Amino acid sequence: MIVIAHAGDWLVSLLYLVPIVVLLAVLGVAALRERRRQRNEGPDEAGSA
């Protein structure tokens, strides 16, 4: 028989996961913005930073 933990135990565990998810989301948004910026600049302007 599978024992399922109390909902409070799951909520406490999820609190540890929230900062990791936020960090991954920020990194993902930054990567998308950088890729979009490089695409809009064109090949001759991309290396002039």
Residues ≥6 apart with Cβ < 8 Å to 46? 38
The predicted pLDDT at position 29 comes to 97
Per-residue pLDDT tens over the stretch 23-32: 999 999 999 9
pTM of the model: 0.61
1-49 residue pLDDT tens: 666 667 778 888 888 899 999 999 999 999 999 999 999 987 665 555 5
| Cα torsion 36, 37, 41, 46: sign | negative
What phi and psi values does residue 2 have, to the nearest 5 degrees?
A: -90, 130
